[in-house]
């Protein structure tokens, strides 16, 4: 089961997860949703399938989410 944390940045919710890989490492995943109607959650690509810990994968997803909101939100 993936580890998941939810963050708020400006008017967006960032759902950051860490998915376990067969290599023993973790891949970050990110879903961004605006907190206004209509909300269309978007899955955003996060570089780095080589995170050694779940916490590092969630941190990478969080960083990518803030960057996405800054550039496109």
So where are the chain's domains?
3-72
pLDDT tens column, 4-61: 999 999 999 999 999 989 888 999 999 999 988 878 899 999 987 689 999 999 999 9
Q: Which residues contact 4 (CB under 8 A, 6 or more apart)?
A: 15, 16, 17, 18, 58
> For the whole model, what pTM was predicted?
0.89
Classify domain 3-72 by CATH number: 3.30.160
CB contact at 8 A, 34 and 12? yes
Instruction: Give the model's pLDDT for residue 67.
Output: 95
């Amino acid at each position: 089961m993936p580890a998941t944390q939810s963050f708020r940045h400006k008017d967006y919710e960032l759902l950051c997860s860490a998915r376990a890989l067969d290599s023993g490492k973790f891949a970050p995943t990110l879903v961004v949703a605006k907190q206004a109607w209509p909300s269309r959650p978007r899955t955003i690509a996060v570089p780095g399938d080589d995170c050694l810990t779940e916490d590092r994968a969630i941190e990478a997803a969080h960083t990518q989410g803030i960057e996405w909101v800054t550039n496109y939100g």
